[in-house]
Structures are given as structure tokens and as C-alpha cells.
Structure 1
Amino acid sequence: MDRLLRKAPYPEWVLMYRLGLGRDRIAALVRTPPATVDYHLRVARRQDPQLQAAHRAAGAAPSVAAVARMEEVIAWVTGAGRLSRGRSDDQAERSMEAWIRQRRSEAAAGTLHAVYRDGLARIPGWDTNARAAADEARWHARLDELRRYRAEGNDWPRHQKYATEQEHSLGVWIHIQRQKLREGTLSPDKAAQLDAAVPGWLQGRGRGRPARP
């Protein structure tokens, strides 16, 4: 481990960063803890507001294979309605969790490439803590399922006196969203997404008559 005391920011590390190397890569090359390199780079970015832009411009864009991997991860998360788990029995899922964790570290360090940043923006909450991100992904997956359910000509799902398990699960979910809105705990953004995807969701079935899809 490098135990030398260097005045921050250390010029050699700043130059490496300016040339496009990320925090972890610099740390590996100079055999210094990433946290130490990160501290020097944060000081350097405060002193030079243009440093971050120079780093991103110099950094090589992800390869075609790297972008394909990102799309694979996004497709899996979207389909599963949750983030991948590091403790999964499935090796492929563990690999995806490690991939997202690495991108999250890069985002926290300010070294995430714009290609990854823009692509991963399609996964709400991917850069927050895993539990919050998983909850966010499930919410959007359920909204999409409800949209498709209504588009198929079904009436609003019920959480009581339901005909199928799908109707029950969707009925419980939309009932909770209505409760949250009335209690003031549903975010305006989520309310707007519900309005756009499934208009009339708050009113639901009319009393004494079936609602039109």
C-alpha cells in the first residue's frame, strides 16, 4: 500500500484522470486505495471546474460489446421488475448485480461514462440503494402490467371479489396507489405517470355499472 503523504491534488493522478482514466484504474496502477485517489480527484475537481468535462471527453466510449452488455442488463431488470441480486443462486444474475454495482461506484465517483449514464437512466433508481431501486423497478413493472391489462379490454381490477390472481394482485396495487394519493404520500411524478398510462385510475369502477376500458 502506498503510504506516502501527498498534498492534494497529486498532479500525476490528476493528469491520469484528465487523460480519461477512472478512479479505480488509477488506484490499481499506483497501488493506492481508491478512496485516497478519490479524495485527490475531488479536490482537483473543486479547483478546476473543467476537469470533469475533460475527463469524460478523453475517456474512450464503451465498446460495442460493452453497450450490448448494458442492454442485456437493462432488458433483464425491466423484464424481472427488479434489480439483480448478488446473493442469487443464478450465476448470470450475480454477474449482472456486480456489473450494476460497478456502474454505481463509477457514478458516485463522477467517472460514469455518458453512454452508461444515459442508458441506465431507463432503470429508475438504479444508482440508489438496492432496496429502493428494486421497489422502484417493481412499481414501474406493475404500472406497465396494469396498462396492458386495461388495453386488453379488462375492467378495472378489484382487490376483493376478484376473478383471477392477476386481477387480485393488480387490484391490491392500484388500491394502494389510490390510498397513497388520498393520504398525500404518492409522489406527484408517480401520480402523473398513472394519469398518462391508465387514465381514470383514481375513479376506477363506477358504482352500480361497469366502467368502460
Structure 2
Amino acid sequence: MAGWEVSRHPEWDMMYAAGLTVREISDLCHWQCTTIHRHLQMREKYESGTHAKHEAALAARGVDRPTISWRKLLAEVLEFQTIHSRLPHHEGDDTERRLHRWVLDQGRAYRNGEMSAPKIILLDALVGWSIDIRQQERDEVWRAKLTSLIEFTATYQRTPRYQNFSSEAERVLGVWLHVQHQRRAEGKLLPWRLEMMDEAFLHWQSRM
């Protein structure tokens, strides 16, 4: 068995070094504060500077620290995800929409590089929180359009036209396809979208 010179709880060490308080570590890991205190005291004994590193990180946290109200909201979202096996959605009741907006705000701050390390560590328990939900919804709409385009082409043995169209549905698909051509020509079509278009329609890039 390894001696005390080897940390028994390296995850606590990481959180403490990132500036999380003992109370925050306790809330996240569901261990008593006294147990965590004893562990950290032992780490300071075998790894001098542990506490000083924590104090420096704590001082650097500034205004973007996980406040009590912030941790309360995180706990609500975690409970929601545990019960429903998903993140809150914008089409839910007032409580769910409130939690949905909070998750969006966290993801936006993270992607903009505006989130402190303690918050990132605490949010690690929330599955999918850093995903751009709105972008995910736009991607789903794009995939649905591609499916409609494939179905149209299979039915009529041609691609839809945005001029001289036979129906409003064809015009909408024709405009969408024309936009994909434009974005591809400008180098703005996402690589995975370009790949899906290439797989669905051989030589589609040569058509304008």
C-alpha cells in the first residue's frame, strides 16, 4: 500500500490548487469538510506549498467565482439531469426554461474564454453543458433540409429549382441548395456538411 507521500484523493488536490474552497469541494464530492481538511493538511506536510498555491488561485478568482447562488443553480440543473436524463429545454415550464437559460449562459462564457477554472471543474459533473445548444438546433435543421433534398431528388430524379419551380416546397429546397453552393464556393461551408453533401450527391459541386 502506498504511503502518505502519494495522494489518496488527487481530484481534491486539483480542485484545491484551482482555487476551490473546502466547502466547494465538499459540495461537489459529497465528503465531509473535516475529512477534506485533514487530507489537505497531510498534503501540505508531504508537498510543501500546497496551501500557498491554493491561496494564490483563490485570490485570482475575482468576480467570476462560484457563488452560493451559482452553486445552487448548478445543483438544480444536476438534479434535473439526473431525473430526466437530459439538459433543461427551452420548451419546458418556467423552471425548466430558467435552468435552460442558465446552462446557455455557462456554455457561452466557456466558449468565449470568460469562465474561471473553479466553475469549469464544478460543471464537469454536468453532461453536455459546454455544447452550443443553439448551434446544435441549427445543425438539426440543416440535416432535416438535407433529408428533404435527398427525398425530393429520389422522387423527381432531379435537384430542386429556386427559379421556375413547380411548388413552394421546391422553391424552399432550391434556395437552400443554392445557399450551400454559395457557402461552398466562399469556403464557408462547414467540413462535415460538405462531406455529407458529397456523400449524398456526387458531383453536386459542379452544379450552380
The structure, 1 or 2, with the larger RCO (C-alpha pairs under 8 Å, 6+ apart) is 1
Q: TM-score if structure 1 supplies the norm length?
A: 0.48
Q: So what's the TM-score if we normalise by structure 2? A: 0.49
Q: Which structure would you say has the larger Rg? A: 2
